Amino acid sequence: MRAVITGGAGFIGSHLAESLIENGYEVKVIDNLSTGSIKNIEKIKDKPKFEFIKGDIIDLPELNYIISHSDIVFHLAAAVGVELVVKDPAQTIITNVHGTERVLNAAKIKRTKVILTSTSEVYGKSEMNKFSEEDDLLIGPPKHSRWSYACSKLLDEFYCMAFAEEYGIPVTVVRLFNTVGPRQTGKYGMVVPRFVKNAIVNKPLQVYGTGEQSRCFCHVYDTVRALKILGQSDLKNDIFNIGNDYEISIKELALFIIRKLNSSSTIEKISYDEAYSPGFEDMKRRHPDIEKIRKAINWEPMLKLDDIINDVNQHIQETE
């Protein structure tokens, strides 16, 4: 199997690339290194079946050739992180929408299979207890730039379904719910590495808002396992949630990490206006319904929050 991973030098993409190489795939990674890093692919960069191509999918001249001569493309390249999205909403939309458009047009040439990584953000401000793939979506107003990411990824999903229907491209969309683990950086606002890094050195853990907002965290190894199974399956033209269904508030997460790492850190609450921008809106919950993917490919998360914190802590201790 010949696989292309856009954004493959990033956090999730690099783990996926390693796993595919281990399974005998030929892997080409395309990444402009805007948020990814060569360090992430250090273990595999010299492997005979691996090739790294530095470039942006928006203007990479050989993108059509690369994708049309592959069996599958895992499209992970995107603007990431709430802080980046709030600061640069225009580039977020361009990167996500135009990048996906280019990938799909390249896949159209020989009907190359596409796995698109979308996000739980597309569920917007819905008040559902659990988010399922058939739910209606409630996005905030365009004057709030934080919703530019959700809207751009939702348009990516519509693009995929339209290309599948019109051109016969086999497409699968996955909505990721807070994938975390080694190599994830807290630079763009990701909460787990940010908390762990501060707890290690006994600095305050900054909790945005009230801290009552809750999340479900999925280990990157579980996410990669789901991506691989979906890539190998005959499923197509469908949407799946990928996430862990254990829910915890951000305040409880901070306390858990402090206890886990035997830290003397305190908790410092910061308003959303101060952390991001005036009028910032957050989702109160992001709890995935994963029954659909359970039934489809017999997948469910195996690693717990305890495993996630252990692995993130170990990675930070070894690399920083």
* Alpha-carbon separation of residue 98 from 47, 144, 245 (angstroms): 31, 21, 32
- Alpha helices for 26-98 (secondary structure H): 63-68, 82-87, 89-93
Residues 21 and 18: their CA atoms lie apart, in Å, by 5
Cβ atoms 205, 149 nearer than 8 A: no
Per the structure block, which two tokens stand in for 36?
Answer: 């990814």
* Alpha-carbon separation of residue 96 from 26, 152, 179, 182, 296 (angstroms): 26, 6, 19, 24, 28
Give me the phi and psi of 36, to 5 degrees please: -85, 180
Name the E strands within the chain.
2-6, 26-31, 50-54, 72-75, 113-119, 171-176, 179-180, 205-208, 214-216, 218-219, 238-242, 247-249, 267-270
SS3 for 116?
A: strand
From the list 25, 65, 123, 149, the catalytic residue is 149
Per the structure block, which two tokens stand in for 68?
Answer: 């049309």
Active site residue 149: yes
Cβ atoms 226, 261 nearer than 8 A: no
Residues 139 and 151: their CA atoms lie apart, in Å, by 7
Cβ atoms 22, 46 nearer than 8 A: no
Give me the phi and psi of 206, to 5 degrees please: -85, 115
Q: Supply the residues annotated as catalytic.
A: 149
